[in-house]
Amino acid sequence: MRPAPRALGRLGAHALVAAGALVMLAPFYFMFVFATQARGDIFQLPPPLFFGAELAGNFEILTTRLPFWRNLGWSLYVALASTLLTLLFCSLAGYAFALLEFRFKPALFALLMATLLLPSFMGMIPSFLVMDALGWIDQHRALYVPGAASAFGIFMVRQYALGAVPRDLIEAARLDGCGEFGIYWRIVLPLLQPVLGTLGLVTFIGSWNNFMAPLVVLRSASNYTLPLALRSLQSPVNTEWGALMLGSAIATLPLLVLYALASRRLIAGLTAGAVK
Amino acid sequence: MNEHVNPVAAAGLPSARAAGTAGSPVPPQPVPRRRWRVSPRWAPYLFVAPFYLLFAVFGLFPLLFSLFLAFHSWEPTSGLAAMRWVGVENFAFALDDEWFWKALGNTLWLALASGLPQHLVALGLAVYLQGLRPRQRDLTSGAYFLPYITSTVAVAIMFSSLFSTDFGLVNALLGAIAGIAPIDWLGTPAGLQAAITFIVFWRFVGFNTMLYLAALQTIPAELYEAATLDGASRWRQFLHITLPGLRPMMYFGVTLSVIGGLQLFEEPFILTGGRGGTDQAGMTAAVYLYRMAFDFNDFGGASAMSWLLCGVVALLTWTTNRAFAVRRAGRA
């Protein structure tokens, strides 16, 4: 008599998890559905469940209300700049911490790890003042320079380099007269490719989604990145919901594509701190 | 520059020496282009320098400056000269400020109300996923993890439409399925907090599931086999093998949730239009800090509050640590 209830329980678990997965995905579905609906139609009873015909209309509103392509371009520019700088600085430092010997290494590494514990809001106010003093307010470099050598990224590269780069290879190259930077560029960097791919994805997504830093630093609407631009469309009255949903959908689309292409790698990268 | 090194990298470890010394057509150049060469002695410092430079300028200096500011009264528009030493006045003001306590209470409540279900569901889900075949497991975990990588702003905007009172999808569904009268999610304190809690839960439950799933893979299967042979029920196996095996990850995950939960900013900020919502029910500590500085122009007061909040975060992280340490000691 045991197997029957157990099978029933299994079935129940399957159904529950599947329903949960639907709840997880539903907001994305409706984001895309609403992006094709007129403002008046989104808030009907019952709400629209399928795609409408207002995609072009919403797009028109979106591009007249916002310098949308500029905003998209800035998001892309900041995300790429931040990714490239992060890959350079994190691979250099991660390699050094993994494979080179130098004085104060343990202390320097401990300091690096300690900075991971600082809550993000601690920097919000004073970093605004620093940007102000540097004349970086409303400048995009204020978004990609400060975090370019991320402690998390350095840690990630270090963990990987420990297992992936043979010390003998570095010694051999050094004896052959290869310079220190040459060793990094020609030997270490190619071997670090897998972890740098993951770190690049994580950094790009983090920058693409960043809201707090641009909110504090950027001032003019033509300099806004996408999240800020979308927020500026939101108002207590008369929000153009269809256009806003279309903008949100466009901001989400690249992430969905990246996720479809590299979900395993992304999940591994984002949970890396824990698993290692 | 040193072309002869290329084959070393390509050929791999064993042939490295041979390729460099004998196989290479170009002999190693003695001390070429000195000014571009970094001595092995200084190279490591050069390689790690960017982090410490950037941290000094954009991390450490701002922190020290905010500590300095916390003891001053200052509006940035009036210039550095207008800074006035006020001692602990800013701290006294914060501790006496009704909104500060309100924000702190909101933050703690939202962190608990979204964090606890998150971990309970993630734990159950991870155990369930562990029993699936790899393909189904990847597909299901992929769906649950997706919210974690998407733009919080886009998602919060989406939810503010789903949760709207008169014609939002959530109310429409609740009405159709359970016959519940429309709930004013975003206009009442309890509704707003419920909506924020749900969005945070929705965004992080998949992340925690993946943490637990990774930890489950490290529990040796022999433990379960032995327990089954001994006639232990599945529930007992869960209690005595799975849970203890997951404890280190639980500590890590809970710590992340505590730290993350106390910094909650974007969801309430978007849902309340940056103002904190009805009766300040959506005003978290980070939102209040932002308003203090950028809406009310009180940078000294905001700095003092950020240090008080940092203390709270440190205290709670420490408490989490203690809680898990005591449990560990009790088990051993």
CATH of residue B264's domain is: 1.10.3720.10
Query: CB distance from A9 to chain B under 8 Å?
Result: no
Q: In 3-state terms, what secondary structure has residue B72?
A: strand
Give the domain extent around A106.
76-224
Which chain A residue shows the shortest CA-CA distance from B284?
Answer: A121
* Residue percentage of chain A with pLDDT more than 90: 46
B129 and B30 together in one domain: no
Q: What's the rounded Cα separation, in Å, for the pair B39 and B42?
A: 6
> Could you tell me how many CB contacts below 8 A there are between chain A and chain B?
298
- Residues of chain A neighbouring B8 (CB-CB closer than 8 A): 169, 172-173, 176, 187
Whether B33 and B155 share a structural domain: no
At A59-111, the pLDDT tens digits run 988 888 889 999 999 999 999 999 999 999 999 999 999 999 999 999 999 99
User: Which CATH number covers residue A87?
Assistant: 1.10.3720.10
A189 touching chain B per CB within 8 A: no
Domain check: are B100 and B80 in the same one?
no
Over residues B264-282, mean pLDDT = 86
Give the tens place of pLDDT for each residue, A151-179: 989 999 999 999 889 999 999 998 988 88
Are A252 and A61 in contact by the 8 Å Cβ rule? The answer is no
User: Which ranges constitute the DSSP H helices of B179-298?
Assistant: 189-216, 221-229, 234-237, 243-262, 266-271, 285-290
Q: Which residues of A touch B271 (CB under 8 A)?
A: none
Inside any domain, residue A260: no
- Domain of B38 in residue numbering reads as 3-89
pLDDT-based confidence at residue B19 (cuts at 50, 70, 90): very low
Asked if B217 and B104 sit in the same domain, the reply is yes
Mutate which: B15, B34, B37, B58, vs A, most A CBs within 10 A: B58
User: Which residues are within 8 A (CB) of B121 and not within 5 positions of it... i.e. 6 or more apart?
Assistant: A20, B201, B205, B209
Q: Is A123–B62 a contact, with Cβ atoms under 8 angstroms apart?
A: yes
Residue with tokens 């343990």: A106
B62: burial class by Cβ within 10 Å (0-12, 13-18, 19+)? buried
Q: Which residues of A touch B54 (CB under 8 A)?
A: 145-149
**Per-residue pLDDT tens digits for B201-248:** 999 999 999 999 988 988 888 888 899 898 888 888 888 999 988 888
**CB nearest B306 (choices: A45, A125, A271):** A125
Q: Are residues B171 and B305 in the same domain?
A: yes
Q: Is A263's CB within 8 Å of B142's CB?
A: yes
Same domain, B181 and B309: yes
Q: Is residue A25 part of a domain?
A: no
Ramachandran category for residue B26: left, alpha or beta (phi over 0 → left; psi -120 to 50 → alpha): beta
B66: nearest CB among A30, A101, A126: A126
Candidates B47, B54, B71: best to mutate against A (most CBs of A within 10 A) is B47
Nearest to B5 among A46, A123, A178 (CB): A178
Give the residue with greater pLDDT, A241 vs B31: A241
Whole-number average pLDDT of chain B: 82
Give me the number of domains chain B comprises: 2
Same-domain pairing of B184 and B231: yes
Say whether both B137 and B217 belong to one domain: yes
> What is the three-class DSSP state of B85?
strand
Q: Which residues pair with B85 in a beta bridge?
A: B72
List of chain B residues whose C-beta atoms are within 8 Å of the C-beta of residue A100: 43-44, 47
- DSSP letter at B27? P
pTM assigned to the model:
0.85
Residue range B59-87: average pLDDT? 81
ipTM of the complex: 0.87
Pair B53, B123 in one domain:
no
Cβ–Cβ gap B51/A25 under 8 Å: no
Query: Do A43 and B168 make contact, defined as CB atoms within 8 angstroms?
Result: yes
Q: Are residues B138 and B268 in the same domain?
A: yes
A96 at the B interface (CB within 8 A)?
yes
Q: What's the average model confidence in pLDDT over A132-154?
A: 91
User: Does A214 reside within a domain?
Assistant: yes
Residues of A in contact with B128 (CB under 8 A): 13, 17
Measured between CB atoms, which of A102, A248, A274 is closest to B45?
A102
**Higher model confidence: residue B325 or residue A26?**
A26
In a domain, A57, yes or no: no
Task: Taking each helix axis as running N to C, give the angle between helix A241-270 and helix A226-233, from 0 to 180 degrees, rounded to the nearest 10.
Answer: 150
- The helix-helix angle for B299-331 and A121-134 (nearest 10°) equals 140
Beta strands in chain B (DSSP E): 72-73, 84-85
To the nearest 5 percent, what fractions of chain B are helix, strand and coil?
75, 0, 25
Average pLDDT over residues A28-42: 85
Arithmetic mean of pLDDT over chain A: 88
User: A112 vs B51: CB contact, 8 Å cut-off?
Assistant: yes
A residues 235-274 closer than 8 Å to B (CB): 235-236, 241, 244-245, 247-249, 251-252, 255-256, 258-259, 263-264, 266-267, 270-271, 274
Tell me if residue A259 falls in helix, strand or coil.
Answer: helix
Rounded Cα–Cα distance for residues A99 and A109 (Å)? 13
Across the interface, do A182 and B2 touch by the CB < 8 Å criterion? yes
